[in-house]
Amino acid sequence: MKPAPLKLHTSLVLSALGVGAFLIAWEVLARSGVVPARLIPSPSAVPGAFIAEFQSGTWQRMVVASLSHYLTGLLLGTFLGVAAGAAAALWGWWDAFQAWVVRMLRPIPSIAWIPFAIIWFGVSEAAATFLIALTVFWINYYAAYSAVRGVDKDLIELGYAFGQGGLIPRLFKIILPGALPGILSGVRAGLGQGWMTVVAAELFGIAGLGMRMSDASGLLATHIVVLYMVTIAALYGVCDFLFMQVQQRVLAWQR
């Protein structure tokens, strides 16, 4: 027997209570002296760190720098991943031709490409963009591949019956609308994975949130590290919220 779904306001209140309980427990642990304050900074130290970083202009510069290569890598990886995944799903000969290349490259994590990114692009935003795009590419490749392959074959046959047998009309009037929910799910997953890669990409000296976190950890300024962790979480939350609004509008025809 499934539990009854919670009302929206009840769910929001419980979520807020959960966050509050987590922060209180964290504050108590940090102030208890059980663990040195340098290792676990208290949540109450974060607002002061934010004010100092904001007044110096450092926070704004780091956010803008990270957003620059994040958005570029996200757009590039999403477009190429969706295009490559859809192409593999549409044409069996192409799927077979590239299948083993995909199986060889897919298990390699993006951070393993850091040495090549530095060699090819230097310590630059282009290197970070490449790593982010690579991460996002694979997520969207498999999402688009599965979504296109999952389109109801009866719809495609119906399209043929109504004169939509050509590739372009079949693609844009039948296949992509049918696959769109799955494709957008992949895009949404890429939003979060892209932010994870941002930090890894910036740890070797590219300006951004990850570099600032690395510099602060070297000085044991853990309250600053936590500040930028919270910043990444907030930026992802904003990106995810905006994407959900777009997704609801794009898929409104399904209701």
Cα–Cα distance measured from residue 190 to residue 167, given in angstroms and rounded to the nearest whole number: 28
Contact residues for 130 (Cβ-Cβ < 8 A; gap 6+): 73, 113, 117, 120, 121
Which among 255, 231, 239 has a CA at the least distance from the CA of 50? 231
The secondary element (H helix, E strand) that includes residue 154 is helix 153-161
State pTM to two decimals. 0.85
What are the pLDDT digits (tens) for 68-94? 999 999 999 999 999 999 889 888 888
Helix axes 58-90, 125-149, angle to 10 degrees: 40
Q: Which residues of 47-76 are buried (b: 16+ CB within 10 A; e: fewer)?
A: eebbeebeeeeebeebbebbbebbebbbeb
Domains defined for the chain, CATH in brackets: 62-211 (1.10.3720.10)
Rounded mean pLDDT of the chain? 85
Question: How far is residue 137's CA from residue 189's CA, in Å, rounded to a whole number?
Answer: 11
Q: What is the per-residue pLDDT across 115-161, written as a single tens digit (0 to 9) for each? A: 899 899 988 899 999 999 999 999 999 999 999 888 767 666 555 55
Residue 47: what residue type? P
**Model confidence at 39, in pLDDT bands (50, 70, 90)?**
confident
Nearest C-alpha neighbor of 80 from the set 41, 135, 32, 122: 135
pLDDT of residue 27: 84
- The CA–CA distances, whole Å, from 162 to 152, 159, 172 equal 16, 5, 15
